[in-house]
Amino acid sequence: MKHVLARMVSDTQKFDDELLVILDALPIPLSWASLPEGHVRFVNRAFTKTFGYENGRFATVDHWMEETYVDQAEREDARKRWEQLWIADGSGVTEIEAFELQVRHADGETVPVLHRGIVLHDFGLGIATFENLSDQKLAESALRRIAYEDPLTTLGNRRMLQERWNAETRLDEVSPKRQTKALLMIDLDNFKPINDFHGHAAGDEILRSVAKRLRQSVRYDDTVVRMGGDEFAILLTDLEDQADAEKICQRIADAFLEPFVVQGQTVSVGATVGASLYPHHGSDLGTLLHAADQALYRMKRNDEHSWAWFDHSFEKSGVSRSLASAE
Contact 133, 110 (CB under 8 A): no
7 contacts: CB under 8 Å, gap ≥ 6: 13, 14, 15, 16
d(CA 300, CA 277): 20
Closest CA to 128 of 137, 116, 136: 116
Q: Kindly state the helix (H) or strand (E) to which residue 160 belongs, with its residue range.
A: helix 158-174
| DSSP, residue by residue, 55-81 | TTS-SBHHHHHHHHB-SHHHHHHHHHH
Catalytic residue status for 196: no
d(CA 270, CA 272): 7
Q: Which of 150, 187, 222, 230 is catalytic?
A: 230
Which residues are tagged catalytic?
Answer: 230
